[in-house]
């Protein structure tokens, strides 16, 4: 499992991503807080991340990177208002995590085929598996 430092980094990255469009909707905050709770981060620690920067730590395992990429896709689609800035930022984050560019692009292009643009995790996993083989 992730260390405390890694958990704060995951949340900090997600908060920065949610703010790409210069707003933070209540639905985005609620989603982020749910992720924080699933990572056993207190509300106080979570709220502090909106005021301070933490060291960015790339998830070590491929599985953790895919989970984080999926969280970011879910976060992006909460407001159902994907703009080019968000898509470019998500693409950049995926590249920085070492994910294959063609797999990132494939996921971003097929998400429009699913209800609420929620790509099932097994579909994401299969896309990335195909690109690693």
Residue 1's pLDDT is what?
A: 53
Collapsed DSSP state (helix, strand, coil) of residue 20 = coil
Give percent of the chain above pLDDT 90: 69
Q: Which residues contact 100 (CB under 8 A, 6 or more apart)?
A: 128, 131, 132
Query: What's the predicted TM-score (pTM) here?
Result: 0.90
Task: Return d(Cα 35, Cα 86) in angstroms, integer.
Answer: 19
Task: Return d(Cα 2, Cα 6) in angstroms, integer.
Answer: 6
How many structural domains compose the chain? Answer: 1
Contact 10, 68 (CB under 8 A): yes
**pLDDT tens for residues 50-86?**
999 899 999 989 999 999 999 999 999 887 666 788 8
Helix or strand (DSSP H, E) at 10: helix 4-18
Give the residue numbers spanning the domain of 119. Answer: 4-132
State the CATH number of the domain containing residue 95. 1.10.3680
Does the pLDDT at position 112 exceed 90?
no
What's the Cα-to-Cα distance from 109 to each of 32, 104, 114, rounded to whole Å? 24, 9, 11
CA proximity to 108, closest of 122, 88, 125, 78: 88
Six-digit token string for 130:
């195909």
How far is the first Cα of the chain from the last one, in angstroms, to the nearest whole number?
26
**pLDDT tens for residues 15-35?**
999 999 888 999 999 999 999
């Amino acid at each position: 499992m992730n260390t405390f430092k890694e958990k704060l980094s995951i949340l900090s990255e997600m908060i920065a991503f949610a703010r790409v469009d210069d707003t933070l909707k209540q639905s985005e905050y609620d989603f982020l807080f749910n992720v924080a709770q699933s990572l056993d981060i207190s509300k106080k620690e979570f709220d502090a991340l909106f005021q301070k920067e933490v060291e960015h730590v790339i998830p070590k395992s491929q599985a953790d990177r895919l989970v984080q990429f999926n969280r970011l896709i879910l976060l992006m689609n909460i407001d159902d208002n994907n703009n080019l800035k968000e898509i470019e930022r998500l693409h950049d984050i995926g590249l920085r995590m070492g994910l294959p560019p063609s797999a990132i692009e494939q996921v971003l292009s097929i998400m429009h085929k699913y209800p609420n643009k929620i790509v099932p995790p097994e579909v994401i996993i299969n896309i990335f598996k195909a690109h690693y083989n």
